[in-house]
Structure 1
Amino acid sequence: MGAPAAGALTEAFEAERRGLFAHAYRMLGAYHEAEDVVQDAYVRALRGWHTFEGRSSVRAWLYRITTNVCLTVIASRGRETPFVVEPFPTDPADLVTERESVRLAFVAGLRHLAPRQRAVLLLREVLAFSAAETGETLGMSVPAVKSALQRARARLAEVAPDRDDVLDAASPRAQQLLAEYMAAWEASDADAFREVLRADAAIEPVGSGTTYAGRESCLAFAVPSMGVARQWRMVAIEANGQPAVVAWFRGEPFGVAVLTVAEDGIVAITLFGDPKLAENFLNR
C-alpha cells in the first residue's frame, strides 16, 4: 500500500473519528473501551485498506469495522460481566454527536438489547444507514435487519421510555439548575439542595445497585455527605448532552455527577464516584 493511499485513509478516518467514538460508546457503554475500539478499528482499516473496492462509502466501511470490533469486545466480556455505563464528554459545539443519542437513559437502555439488535438499532436509527448497508455490516438479510429493528424498538420503549420534558444541557433553565445545584453543595446548604429537586427525583450511585427514589429518599442519602461549607468544589461540564459537574471533596477528586433536568427541577442525579473521571473530562 503506497503512502498516498494510507494518507487518504487517515484523512477519512480522522473526519469520522468523533462519530466512530460515539458509536463505540453507545455499543459498549464504556468510555475507555470505546477509545480502545477506535484505535483498533483504525489499525484494522489500515491493514485492510488495500482490499477496499469502493462498493460502499468509506464511511460505511469504517463503521462496519468499528461495529464488528465492538461485537467482538462484547462477546469477550462474557455473560457475567455487567454493562456499566460511564459518562461521555459532549461539547455544545460538536455537531457530530447527537445529544439524544448519548443521553444516559438511552445508553443505559441499550444494555437490555442483544448485541446485534443494539447494532441494528444504532446503525439504522442513529446513523441512518439503510437496511441493506446494515445487513452488509452485520452479515444479515434485509428482512432480518427489519425484524431485529422492530424488536429492538419495542424493547427499548419498555426499558427507556422517552422523556419529553427533559431539557437540553444548553438551555437557560438547565444552566440555572446546574448553578443552583453546585452552589447548594459548595455551601453545604441542604435546604437549597431540596429546592432544586423534583418531588419524584432520583439519585443513582453507579455501581451500587441502588437507586434512591423520591425527594426525601434523595435527601436522606445525600445530605450526610454534604459536610461543611467549602469542602466540596465543583466545575460545570457537559456529559452525555446533559448538565454535569466534576467534583472534588476536601481537595481530592471525587468523580462526576450527571443531572437530568426539567423545567420544574432536577429529575435525576447519576453519580460516578471515580476520581479518574476528573482527568478524563478536564484534560480533553
Structure 2
Amino acid sequence: MSESAATQDLDVRLEKHRTELTGYCYRMLGSAFEAEDAVQDTMVRAWKSFDKFEGRSSLRSWLYRIATNVCLDMLTAGNRRARPMDLSGPTPVAQAQLNPQPEIVWLEPVPDGRVLPSMADPAEAAVSRESIRLAFVAALQHLPPKQRAVLILREVLAWKASEVAELLDTTVASVNSALQRARATIAESEPATTETSDPLDEEQKALLERYVTAFEGYDMKALTALLHDDAKFTMPPFDLWLQGHDDIVAWMLGPGAGCRGSRLLPTFANGTPAFAHYKPTESGDGYLPWALQIIEIEDGRISTMHCFLDTARWFPLFDLPMRLEKEKDGQG
C-alpha cells in the first residue's frame, strides 16, 4: 500500500469513531464545542503517534485512552458547567432580572446526531440517549474528573472494570471504589427521569403538536394545560430561572411578549425533543432566530423548557437556517 493510501486508510479508520468519541467528551466536558475540540485533538494525537500503536488493545480503546487524557487535561482548571437551577433557587417573576453569565458557566446543548452513533441494540441506544440528557450531564459535573470518566465508561459504555483500569493506569479495586463514590454522588443530585425522543410515541407526538399550536398561537391557557404545576423555564446565558406555570405565563405575557407570533421548527437535542424558535422580524416579512428550546417531558406533561438564547452559536451547530421567510412558512 502506498503512503498516501495508508494515510487515507488511517483517516477512515479514525473517523469511524468520531461520533462516539464526541459523545464521550461531551459527557465529560458538558460543552458541545469543547467536545469537538477534544476529539479533534484526539485525532491529531492519534495520527501523529500511530506508529507507536502496537495493537495490544483495540484501536477504539486506544482512542478512548487518548480522549480521556485530553479531557482530563481540559478539566484540570476545575470548572464545572451548570444549568441555571444548579446555581440558585427560582426567582419570582415580579423580581426577575436578566443577569448574563459567561459562556463557560453554562452546560451546553448538543445535537443528537453529533454524539449518538447508530446502534443496532435498542437497549444500548436508549442508555446512550438517556446519558446525554441535560439533567444527567449536569449531574456528571458534580464528579471529580476521573470519577466522571469511570462512571461514563462503566455505566454508559459498559466497559469492564479491568478495561477501565488499563485505560486509566490504575487497579480494578481503584476503579470499583471510584465507581461506588460516583454512584453515591449522582444519587444525591437525583437527575430527573425525563422522556427521551427516539422514537416518540403517539402520546408524546400529540403533546408536542399541542405545544407548537399553543406557543405559536400564544394561547397561554392551552400552554398551561401542557405544563406541570412546578414546570421550570430557563434562558441561558441569563442566570434567571422560573418555576411554576403561573410565573412562566406571567413572563411570557410580560417581558417575553415579543415572542407572540413566533414559529417553531422541530429538531433533536440532548436526547429529547427540541425546537428552533424564530421571532417575527420588525418588518413582518419573515422570522429570525431567537432561541433553541429543549423540551423535557415527565409523565405526559412538559416539566422544563430550556431556552438557549445565543442563536449565533447554536443554530449553525444544529444546521438550522438563520432566517425563515414568511412565504415559505407552511404554518402561517
TM-score by length of 1: 0.90
Across the aligned residues of Structure 1 and Structure 2, the Cα RMSD in angstroms comes to 2.5
1:95 equivalent in alignment to 2:118: yes
Shift of 1:274: 1.0
Shift of 1:90: 1.2
1:10 equivalent in alignment to 2:11: yes
Summarize deviations over 1:260-282 as a string: whole Å, max 9, x none: 11343101111211112122213
Shift of 1:55: 1.1
1:279 equivalent in alignment to 2:302: no
Change (3 A) 1:215 1:228: closer
Q: How does 1:166-181 map to 2 (within 5 A)?
A: 166-169=194-197, 170-181=200-211
Change (3 A) 1:184 1:262: same
The farther-off stretch of 37-46 and 208-217 is 208-217
Shift of 1:30: 0.5
What amino acid does structure 1 have at the position aligned with 2:71? Answer: C
Match of 2:300 in 1: 264
What amino acid does structure 1 have at the position aligned with 2:208? Answer: L
Change (3 A) 1:181 1:223: farther
Contact conserved, 1:245 with 1:258, CA < 8 A, in 2? yes
Shift of 1:229: 4.5
Change (3 A) 1:75 1:160: same
What amino acid does structure 1 have at the position aligned with 2:51? Answer: H
What amino acid does structure 1 have at the position aligned with 2:179? Answer: L
In 2, the alpha carbon distance for the partners of 1:223 and 1:264 equals 25
* Residue in structure 2 matching 1:125, options 155, 165, 170: 155
Match of 1:33 in 2: 34
Match of 2:290 in 1: 254
Change (3 A) 1:242 1:156: same
In 2, the alpha carbon distance for the partners of 1:193 and 1:283 equals 25
The number of residues matched between the two structures is 281
What amino acid does structure 1 have at the position aligned with 2:267? Answer: I
Match of 1:59 in 2: 60
Shift of 1:18: 0.6
Kindly report structure 1 stretches of 4+ aligned residues shifted beyond 6 Å. Answer: none
The farther-off stretch of 249-258 and 50-59 is 249-258
User: Equivalent residue of 1:255, what SS?
Assistant: strand
Summarize deviations over 1:162-199 as a string: whole Å, max 9, x none: 52xx3232222222222222222211211121111111
1:236 equivalent in alignment to 2:266: yes
Shift of 1:283: 4.8
In 2, the alpha carbon distance for the partners of 1:49 and 1:6 equals 10
Match of 2:23 in 1: 22
What amino acid does structure 2 have at the position aligned with 1:281? Answer: F
In 1, the alpha carbon distance for the partners of 2:111 and 2:288 equals 21
In 1, the alpha carbon distance for the partners of 2:38 and 2:259 equals 43
Shift of 1:228: 6.8
User: Equivalent residue of 2:131, what SS?
Assistant: helix
Match of 2:97 in 1: none
User: Equivalent residue of 2:11, what SS?
Assistant: helix
Shift of 1:2: 4.2
1:104 equivalent in alignment to 2:108: no
Contact conserved, 2:266 with 2:276, CA < 8 A, in 1? yes
In 2, the alpha carbon distance for the partners of 1:242 and 1:79 equals 23
Summarize deviations over 1:217-270 as a string: whole Å, max 9, x none: 22223332144742x121011111101101112222112110111343101111
What amino acid does structure 2 have at the position aligned with 1:61? Answer: W
What amino acid does structure 2 have at the position aligned with 1:168? Answer: T
Where structure 1 has 5 or more consecutive residues not aligned to the other structure, the ranges are: none
Contact conserved, 1:28 with 1:83, CA < 8 A, in 2? no
What amino acid does structure 2 have at the position aligned with 1:105? Answer: A
Match of 2:284 in 1: none
In 2, the alpha carbon distance for the partners of 1:113 and 1:29 equals 12
Contact conserved, 2:80 with 2:141, CA < 8 A, in 1? no
In 2, the alpha carbon distance for the partners of 1:20 and 1:269 equals 28
* Residue in structure 1 matching 2:229, options 199, 204, 208: 199
The farther-off stretch of 206-215 and 123-132 is 206-215
Shift of 1:6: 3.2
In 1, the alpha carbon distance for the partners of 2:207 and 2:21 equals 32
Contact conserved, 2:276 with 2:320, CA < 8 A, in 1? no
In 1, the alpha carbon distance for the partners of 2:33 and 2:143 equals 21
Summarize deviations over 1:20-69 as a string: whole Å, max 9, x none: 11111111111111111111110000011001111111111011111111
